[in-house]
Structures are given as structure tokens and as C-alpha cells.
Copies of this chain bind each other. A is one copy, B any other.
Amino acid sequence: MTDERKLLLLGLLRQTEMHGYLLNEHLDGFAPLTLKKPTAYNLLDRMQRDGWVEGREEATGERTRTVYSLTEKGENEFLRLLREQVPEYVPNESPALVSIGFLDALTPSEALALLERRREAAQAFRRSLGDSADDPHAHAGSGYLPVEYARRLADLDIEFLGEVVAHIEHGKDEKA
């Protein structure tokens, strides 16, 4: 999945040049994938060696930070990766669904109790994504699409959990 991460870094640097620390703050928040600090710094190094980005040393007193910006080669690679990735459909994996598939190993009441906790966690996560209206990363028109997608996905999860709960409650009734 290196390609997606590279595209992400290139895309962000393409919009505004940045130093690694700032980049990492962005990534923590709204990125559609995990990209931890060491990984980001490492990728920046490699992309600099490959000539995709260039680092300009910026000194504030004793402290220096490296501000990265896209080179022309980087712009080309960005477009190449983009044209490669957009037309490809790679369905998300959903490891979290494995456990849901085995709920029938539990008693209905225990399953319901555990599902309720999952649903609350999902709702809390959904709230943390905010509404389309007050999106801090909103682009012109439609908001930052990956965040909007994350909202939809969380909504789907909550709805799906609700249906699973309903189904178990129904089965419970039948047996009573």
C-alpha cells in the first residue's frame, strides 16, 4: 500500500509545501489510512532521494525544520499514481466483521450486550467526524471527499449493527 501513502504525501505537498511535523498532524486527523510519523519521515526521505520532492532547510534560531515541496518530477509521479489508482476498484477489507460473523456462538443476551457497546463506540466515532456542513477540511463544493466517505461508512456500520441487533432480538422472541 505504499503507493497510496506516496500519493497522499505528494497530494498534500502539492497543495501546500510543508515540513514533516505539520504533515504528520494533518495525517493524524483526517487521512483515510494510517501513516505513522516514522513512516512519513521515511517516505519523505525516499521521495527526496528519488527527486520527487525537495527539502528546503528553514532555521528558526537553533532549530531547523525541512520544508518539502514537489519537484516537477514529483508532479509527474503524482499524476501517474493518480491515473493509476482512480480507475482501480479495490474493495476495503473489513477485519472487524470477522467477529460479527460468529455472534451465534454467544447467547442472544450476551451478544446484544456486546453489540450495544460496539454501537456506542461507532456512534462516538461518527460524531467525531462532524457534519458535512462544518467540515474544517471542506473543499469548494462538496467537502473533502475521503472524510465524507468516512461519514457514510460510519453511518453504514451503525445501521448494519442496528439490523444485527434487531435480528437477534427477533430470534430471541421466537424462542420465548
Contact = CB atoms under 8 A, between A and B. Distances in A.
A78 B98 contact: no
Interface string A88-109: 1111111111111111111000
Given A11-B102, A86-B111, A97 B152 contact: no
14 contacts: A4-B95, A4-B96, A7-B102, A32-B101, A78-B102, A82-B106, A87-B117, A87-B118, A88-B121, A91-B154, A92-B92, A94-B146, A94-B149, A103-B145
Interface of A: 1, 4-5, 7-8, 11, 14, 31-34, 78-79, 81-83, 85-106, 110-111, 114-115, 117-119, 121-122, 125, 139, 141-142, 144-146, 149-150, 152-154, 156-157, 160, 164, 167, 171
